[in-house]
Chains A and B, each alone.
Chain A
């Protein structure tokens, strides 16, 4: 089983659209939406409703006002600015769940409980199995949830003997991205030909180099700036990236999205054709 992860560094370059198309082209396969912060892949895959399992990402502190003696020790030891004084209470969204205030409280006034941070489920979709998670608004620990979701998706893929596990990733280079990288065979970076696109591509490429993961580049909306597209491709080649081609700006992409379909599912167009070509190149490279 090969794991293909779609990343971008910069947000909104077309990760989910590409992931959806790859899922269709790789069918029957297993896929997972590792962007648990702002999960969208389910919108175009419409997985069957399934019973969701709870995800407890960590603990949070809360102060029992009846026991609090207002000594202020919690405020002193908290490094996350989560303690608000007079009367002392915890700002739940700032609390990192380190528990330092809990065992430093002489009055034993601080409770420390697991909180429900999100839910997850695996269910069938028209291209195979889909693993998806939802983080509650304002909840932390997306990295932990991504790691858990991935473990379950890998198990599901092995159970059905899927050839491919397609993973839609998060923007950025921080904890949810790091959590999605484990065990991945190839990362496809979708980048737009803009100076910020190149800047963010380079940071993500450095992360892949550190983690020794094979990377591929797909340039999206290449015709918005041909010169920048060439620079991006040259830069990527120089870093050992495989090139998967260029996808043109195509308003059909938005239309398929509005129909809740994957790109190329309901008729083809220049963008859909370019993505199909990209998949063929990637598949051939992964077979080698």
Chain B
């Protein structure tokens, strides 16, 4: 089963839950940290990194000798990444989405592609868990390619837990799509509820089944639960605010380190989820 942990709103406990869930499921489980802008799972799982490879995206290289200045590249680029000045194409590399269109379109074959370093992919083991994450270079605009690359590392067989980036647009969608199930983590405040509605909208659009975990459920109001009841969203777990959990988190410990009883709870939740997921 591929289970993604997402939230809409940030800081609700995705990473904690993802790491705890991977631990609770035990040997053979894989954890993929797809929050490549701010990857934090490694801080909690302390994996032994066995390989660290550079991650690159293709960007165009224009050969000025072959170029006839016809501007077909500028014409096909939907991202305004190539502009002609005095019949010479100029590349704005940070605008490029690596679609490869310009290289395909150039009638003189003057455009080739070269790899541009955009981040790194690490993989290793944390105890008996498989671990992989992506670390996007600071200054890069789009995490999407890197997220897709990290997801390809999922070993076949065994459960896969994906820690997703916050938000509800392209990075979150790239991380969640293809999952069998998505566990949303939120907190019962007006901000949490507003973002939960957006996240649910996105998941319904991409047709990934989901359920909710409410974190710090006693530090808010009941509107989230009322909304879930009305909308038919299942709440699988409610975790109270617990200063000890918060303090342990601040030192890089998961909920299981201070409240080991959650191991059984999470395992039960995974059974409930799997029962609803077609094999």
Query: What total of A-B pairs shows CB separation below 8 Å?
Result: 186
A202-241 residues with Cβ-Cβ distance < 8 A to B are 203, 206-207, 210, 221, 224-225, 228
Q: Is B272 an interface residue (CB 8 A)?
A: no
Q: Which of A10, A142, A174 has the most CB of B within 10 A?
A: A174
A172 touches B166 (CB 8 A): yes
Q: Are A138 and B138 touching (Cβ within 8 A)? A: no
The proximity string for A residues 122-140 relative to B, scoring 1 for CB distances below 8 Å and 0 otherwise, is 0000000000000101111
Cα–Cα distance between A59 and B204 once the two chains are bound (Å):
22
Q: A175 to B78, Cβ gap below 8 A?
A: no
Q: How far is the CB of B192 from chain A (nearest CB, A)?
A: 9
Q: Determine whether B170 belongs to the interface, using a CB cutoff of 8 Å to chain A.
A: yes
| A38-B168, A142-B169 known; A13+B190 contact, CB < 8 A | no
Is the C-beta of A12 less than 8 angstroms from some C-beta in chain B?
A: yes
- How many chain B residues have a CB neighbour from A under 8 Å? 61
List CB contacts (< 8 Å) of B155-169 with chain A: 165-169
B56 proximal to A (CB < 8 A):
no
* Least CB distance, A110 to chain B, in whole angstroms: 14
Interchain CB contact under 8 A, B206 and A93: yes
Instruction: State whether the Cβ of A152 lies closer than 8 Å to any Cβ in chain B.
Output: no
> Are B250 and A138 in contact, CB atoms less than 8 angstroms apart?
no
B191 touches A139 (CB 8 A): no
Q: Which of B40, B76, B171, B172 contacts A199 (CB 8 A)?
A: B40
What CA separation (Å) do A11 and B11 show in the bound complex? 5
A37-B167, A93-B173 are known contacts. Are A171 and B104 too (CB-CB below 8 A)? Answer: no
**Restricting to B1-55, which residues have a CB under 8 Å from any CB of A?**
7-12, 15, 37-38, 40, 43-44
Interface SS of chain A: helix, strand, loop or mixed?
loop
Among A63-71, A250-258, A274-282, the one that faces the other chain is A250-258
Contact check, A79 vs B100: say whether CB atoms are below 8 A apart.
yes
The chain B residue sitting closest to A44, CB to CB, is B190
Q: Which residues of A contact B166 (CB under 8 A)?
A: 11-12, 37-38, 171-172
Question: How distant is the Cα of A79 from the Cα of B8 in the complex, in angstroms?
Answer: 27
Would you call A12 and B189 a contact (CB within 8 A)? no
Find A251's partner among B98, B171, B219 (CB 8 Å cutoff): B219
Distance, CA A103 to CA B77, complexed state (A): 11
CB-defined contacts of B11 to chain A, threshold 8 Å: 10-13, 171, 192
Sample of 20 A–B contacts (CB below 8 Å): A10-B38, A11-B12, A12-B10, A38-B198, A40-B9, A77-B100, A77-B104, A81-B148, A135-B168, A142-B170, A143-B141, A172-B167, A174-B171, A196-B15, A196-B40, A200-B40, A228-B250, A254-B189, A254-B220, A258-B190
**A interface vs B, CB < 8 Å?**
8-13, 16, 37-40, 43-44, 58-59, 77, 79-81, 93-94, 96-100, 103-104, 135, 137-140, 142-143, 170-175, 178, 192-197, 199-200, 203, 206-207, 210, 221, 224-225, 228, 251, 254, 257-258, 260
Excluding A40-B191, A172-B143, A199-B40, 15 further A-B contacts by CB distance (< 8 Å) are A9-B37, A11-B11, A44-B190, A58-B78, A94-B177, A96-B99, A98-B79, A138-B168, A174-B37, A174-B143, A195-B250, A203-B38, A225-B250, A254-B220, A258-B190
